[in-house]
Structure 1
Amino acid sequence: METAATYRGTVYPWQCDHIGHMNIMWYVGKFDEANWNLFARVGLTPTYLRESGCGMAGVQQNIAYKRELMAGDIVEVTSVLLEIRDKSIRFRHEMRNAETGEIAASCEISAVHLDRQVRRAAPFPEAIRKIAETQLVAAEPVSV
């Protein structure tokens, strides 16, 4: 799968905690922004979600924190698709300090495609499934 960035940004001073590094709530927020760019690559675009009446819901998220990010650091997240099933998708993000290249955190997420009207999981359309299948990568163990 293409490994171009799914998120780029900066750590702002107000995102840092009493220890001086980016607070965990901001790691989650930056990973969430990466989600939407990854989804768009497989056809789960804002237009598709609005017009289809479907949505995406995270059901599991595991984060490993590796290095601190400090105010002023430039952040880049890259993402890979690990699995697509009938109604769910699993993917991994890596957050790096863009200056040093060091991995600051990784995150593996499972999400469900759902029908917003009935609020239940729904199968992915065949077109989205086909695009996603071309972008799958083999899962590698995440070191903690």
Structure 2
Amino acid sequence: MEGEATYRGTVYPWHCDHIGHMNVMWYVGKFDEANWNMFARLGVTPTYLRESGCAMAAVQQTISYKHELLAGDIVEVRSRLVDFRDKSLRILHEMRNAETGEVAATCEISAVHIDRAARKSVPFAPAIRYAAMHHLVPSVSATV
């Protein structure tokens, strides 16, 4: 998968479970960090969220585990914005072992833009819609 690099990090020993590979909670965390990097590229920055009273809420996340990661492995996540709508978006992430190039996992997440006070979905600002069009790479689902 092509896409933009949205996360780079290392698997530390405390990320590993009783079988010796990175535990699922850390995959979710690394994909979450990739989400925030992708959001920022669209203009959904911490400043925007504070000033607008809006937030992003995950409504669906599907992770497919392909190859284990071990302590010491270097991880890279590449991401693509695959769907953008008035009030929601969908991002496809691919996590690889940066040394071997093997795909460790994929994650597809759908998120909704919400008004924090009203707790309801609201349209993205025009500037965010404009930025999103430059990042949009329509694709099939990662879960095939």
TM-score, normalised with respect to structure 2: 0.95
CA gap 1:123/1:143 in 2 versus in 1, 3 angstroms: closer
CA gap 1:141/1:51 in 2 versus in 1, 3 angstroms: closer
CA gap 1:117/1:10 in 2 versus in 1, 3 angstroms: same
Deviation at 1:138, TM superposition (A): 2.2
User: Could you tell me which amino acid in structure 2 is paired with residue 100 of structure 1?
Assistant: T
TM-score, normalised with respect to structure 1: 0.95
Q: Deviations over 1:63-117 (max 9, x none)?
A: 0100000000000001000011110000100000000111100000000000001
Q: Deviations over 1:37-65 (max 9, x none)?
A: 00000100111011111000000000010
Deviation at 1:3, TM superposition (A): 2.8
3-state SS of the aligned residue for 1:100?
A: coil
Q: Is 2:108 the partner of 1:135?
A: no
Partner of residue 91, structure 1: 91
Deviation at 1:133, TM superposition (A): 1.4
Q: Distance in 1 between matches of 2:127 and 2:31?
A: 25
Q: RMSD between aligned alpha carbons?
A: 1.2
1:1-144 alignment, distance < 5 Å: 3-142=3-142
3-state SS of the aligned residue for 1:134?
A: helix
- Check the 8 A contact 2:92/2:142 in 1, yes or no: no
Deviation at 1:134, TM superposition (A): 1.9
3-state SS of the aligned residue for 1:96?
A: strand
Query: What's the % identity of the aligned pairs?
Result: 71
CA gap 1:36/1:143 in 2 versus in 1, 3 angstroms: closer
CA gap 1:4/1:119 in 2 versus in 1, 3 angstroms: same
Q: Distance in 1 between matches of 2:109 and 2:34?
A: 11
User: Could you tell me which amino acid in structure 1 is paired with residue 126 of structure 2?
Assistant: E
Q: Distance in 2 between matches of 1:117 and 1:69?
A: 40
> Unmatched 5+ residue regions in structure 2?
none
3-state SS of the aligned residue for 1:139?
A: coil
Deviation at 1:143, TM superposition (A): 5.3
Q: Distance in 2 between matches of 1:22 and 1:65?
A: 11
3-state SS of the aligned residue for 1:131?
A: helix
